[in-house]
Structure 1
Amino acid sequence: MSITSVLAKRFSNYDNQQSVGSKLRTKRIAPLLEMIDDVFNKHGKVSVIDIGGSEQYWGIVPLQYLTERHVKITVVNLPGSRLPPDHGPFRFVESDGCDLARFGDKSFHIAHSNSVLEHVGDWQRKVQFVKELERVSQAYFVQTPNFWFPIEPHFMTPFFHWLPAPARIWLVRHFKLGHFEIAESVGDAVMLVEHAGLVTNDMFRYLFKDARILTERFFGLPKSFIAVKK
């Protein structure tokens, strides 16, 4: 097992509430929990759309907390995703985050998205993703990794995302990096390299002009950005 694979497991093992990733997420979502409390106090219930999310992610929030506040979470993932049956506070729906036409305007109290913006595609799709997220929600909480943080969070390799595309393609064809096995072909390698398009602070602020932007830091370095609109 490669060093980057070990790091990926230690940082991204969200089944373990003591892992670095879980601890960071628990601290990160404090503003989200404040939003949920505010909505519950006003409406007596809370509807959340989690775009590109998972039930596993919400394991950092006690089920009792969600139940007491009558939180209903609609988890949206791409068509073809293996979605579990609806249960508890969770409803699972297939849809493209850049085209949420099945949902009406302002039909959710809160839109939530964690480490998804970088995966939706090129800049045009990022803009469309944000437009749809803002359209279907009254408030939102959106997080994405920082391009200028030195460790790429998916490949868990220092400076990987700063290298030219041909160099990244060569690396994923020859090494296990982070969450990924060695690519079997050039085509697979290109798809992996294009898997995530990280954004800078300026890009993020442009996308979320009406939001308060928070910066999550790791050892003093800006690791990711969070857009919060209440």
Structure 2
Amino acid sequence: MPLTRTLARRLVNYQDSRCLGARLRRARLEPLLGMIQRLSAKGEPVRLLDIGGTEQYWRIVPESFLSEHRVEITIANPAPHKRDTGRGHFRQLKADGCNLSLCDDHSFHLVHSNSVIEHVGDWQRMRRFAAEIARVGQGYFVQTPHYWFPIEPHCMTPCFHWLPRPWQLALVQRFALGNWKQATNLDAAIATVDSARLLNTPMMAALFPDGELHYERIAGWPKSILALRQPPLS
């Protein structure tokens, strides 16, 4: 559907700092930046692990802020993104977010994850992902799209995630939706639909029982859920 492709370009094109998605993302990060400022006041570099992120994502934070607060960002992915350099404030870690065995307990001041947990797979993998975040981080900032927001954020199609599964599969085989290419067969359609499993409040509360849940809203609708755990300052 051309409309959903257009919406995806205009609303969630994060390389365009003027688009709605980029502006919302900057506002969403305010609690994380506050954590960094408090940690930095201790006079030590702030060690941050970003699971599933990219260096491009961090361009929404002024370089001067990262330098002033001596933020060291380790980006963990199964394979590094092509544009990531691992230089400056950044380091690369080849790892699955569900298995961070290379990282010691509480070895990072903060763990950050933005719109990743809904892509890791079934509930058991989500459990492992959340447990690893809580284990390696003294504090954390985890964001995921909210199941009860009426527009599915990956295919930009109203109510898509609330439809019966056969209807979802039929739609992705017939149309290119948002950021999703048109599926060429049923196997590809199933892989596309299963690539994102949205979560609601009870699910996030179960995954992060020691975190505080916050909401990002648009016109009163909960667009995303954030699980936050403040790192200790002592």
Identity of aligned residues (%): 47
Q: Secondary structure at the match of 2:41?
A: helix
Contact kept in structure 2, 1:81 and 1:94, CA below 8 Å? no
How high is the TM-score relative to the length of structure 1? 0.96
**CA deviation string 1:59-89 (max 9, x = no partner):** 1100111011111111111247546331111
- 1:136-175 to structure 2, matched below 5 A, reads 136-175=136-175
Contact kept in structure 1, 2:169 and 2:189, CA below 8 Å? yes
1:96 correspondence with 2:96: yes
- Partner Cα distance (1:96, 1:109) in 2: 19
- Partner Cα distance (2:164, 2:43) in 1: 50
Contact kept in structure 1, 2:54 and 2:84, CA below 8 Å? no
User: Residue in 1 aligned with 2:194?
Assistant: 194
User: Residue in 2 aligned with 1:211?
Assistant: 211
- Partner Cα distance (2:82, 2:50) in 1: 16
- Partner Cα distance (1:118, 1:43) in 2: 35
User: Residue in 2 aligned with 1:32?
Assistant: 32
1:78 correspondence with 2:78: yes
Q: Secondary structure at the match of 1:126?
A: helix
Can you give the 5+ residue segments of structure 2 that lack an aligned partner in the other structure?
none
Q: Which amino acid in the other structure matches residue 168 of structure 1?
A: Q
- Partner Cα distance (1:90, 1:80) in 2: 12
Aligned length: 230
Please state how far the C-alpha of 1:187 moved relative to its aligned partner. 0.9
Q: Secondary structure at the match of 1:42?
A: coil
